[in-house]
Amino acid sequence: FIIMLLAVAILSLYSVHLLLKTSKEGGSLIYEKLGEKAFGW
């Protein structure tokens, strides 16, 4: 159980890291604007 909990925590931190990296490269720190750029709305 502890191993699964640690795995989920590490993956959550990694997803936040990827989101911040993508927002910096996309030039938008607002989540909605990042979604608009990703899906072209």
Domain ranges of the chain: 2-39
Cβ–Cβ contacts within 10 Å for residue 13, how many?
A: 10
pLDDT at position 7 is: 96
pLDDT at position 10 is: 95
Q: Distance between CA atoms of 3 and 1, rounded to whole angstroms?
A: 5
Residue 25: which of 7, 17, 5 has the closest Cα? 17
> Quick one: what percent of the chain has pLDDT higher than 70?
98
CA angle 10, 35, 30 (to 5 degrees): 80
**Residue 35 clears pLDDT 80, i.e. is over it:** no
Please indicate, yes or no, whether the overall pTM of this predicted structure exceeds 0.85: no
Average pLDDT of span 5-26: 88
> H/E element holding 2?
helix 2-26
pLDDT at position 19 is: 82
Q: Distance between CA atoms of 23 and 29, rounded to whole angstroms?
A: 5
Residues 1-14 have pLDDT tens digits of 999 999 999 999 99
